Amino acid sequence: MRDDGRANEELRELVIKAGVFKNAEGSAYVKMGNTVAVAGVYGPRELFPKFLQNAEKAHLKCRYNMAPFSTKDRKRPGQDRRSQEISKVIADALEPVIFTKEFPKVGIDIYIEILQGDAGTRCAGINAASVALADAGIPMRGLVAAVAAGKVDGDYVLDLTYNEEEKTKADVPVAYAPSLKKVTLLQMDGDLSHEDVRNVINVAIKGCEKVHEAQVEALKNKYREVTL
């Protein structure tokens, strides 16, 4: 039994909404327990500065940002080393599912804002960005779902909270594209044996499939509401 009463392979309370903002071409809201992320997508649109343009495919620009009030201690606003790294890994996690070659020379901009952080912010960010991309009508090979897993007291646990992240031997965020059956992001913070890594990844992939179902539901709900 975990601190919040969840089973080992159970996700936190998951809320996903598609199309939450009017001004962005695509947007999404994701709440995983106490972690809250929103994402907005613009594009494909003309890309500047011009040297970033690629004649073969679209350039994917991602900006991950944490709100100053998202953590216990105020977070100094603005980009730092951590957010730059996360922006890069999120862009790399999403690129394999986007048909970038259909849009030579242009840019696709993804903006992710973390409103509240309780571990797993990059995963919540990926989940939001992937729904926002689909909402913006960008051709994709499928959605990307992400969730972290780890090992606490000998048990493999899914979707760690901040308190669990302190206790875990390793925290492994995994992004997975169910339609392609491919892992697009795999990071590990900590130490695990060979066997443990394999098991933790499998637990995370199972979690991603559950997240994926919620993403699909969120996208379909946006249009069902209009029908009624």
Partner 1 sequence: MTILKNEKDLVVPGEVLAEGLDYLPGYGAFREGDKILSKNVGIVSIRERNVGVTALSGRYMPKAGDKIIGEVLDVQMSTWFLDINSPYQASLSIGEASEEYVERGADLSRYFDVGDVLYAKIISVSKHKNIQLTMKDIMCKKLRGGKIVNITPSKVPRLIGKAGSMITMIKEKTGCNIVIGQNGRVWIKGENEDLATKAVSMVDEKSHTDGLTSRVTEFLDANPTVKTATKTDYVEGDVNAG
Among positions 147-176, residues that touch partner 1 (CB under 8 A) are: none
CA distances from 70 to 21, 116, 121 (A): 20, 4, 10
Quick check: 105 binds partner 1 (CB under 8 A)? Answer: yes
DSSP H or E segment with residue 28: strand 26-32
Of positions 135, 159, 165, 171, contacts partner 1 by CB under 8 A: 135
Closest CB 178 distance from partner 1, rounded Å: 7
Cα(205)–Cα(208) distance, integer angstroms = 5
Quick check: 141 binds partner 1 (CB under 8 A)? Answer: yes
Cα(117)–Cα(110) distance, integer angstroms = 19
Of positions 16, 97, 148, 208, contacts partner 1 by CB under 8 A: 97
Quick check: 104 binds partner 1 (CB under 8 A)? Answer: yes
Quick check: 128 binds partner 1 (CB under 8 A)? Answer: no
DSSP state of 98: B
Question: Which residues bind to partner 1, rule: CB under 8 A?
Answer: 25-26, 43-46, 55, 97, 99, 102-106, 134-143, 177-180, 215-216, 219-220, 223-224, 226-227
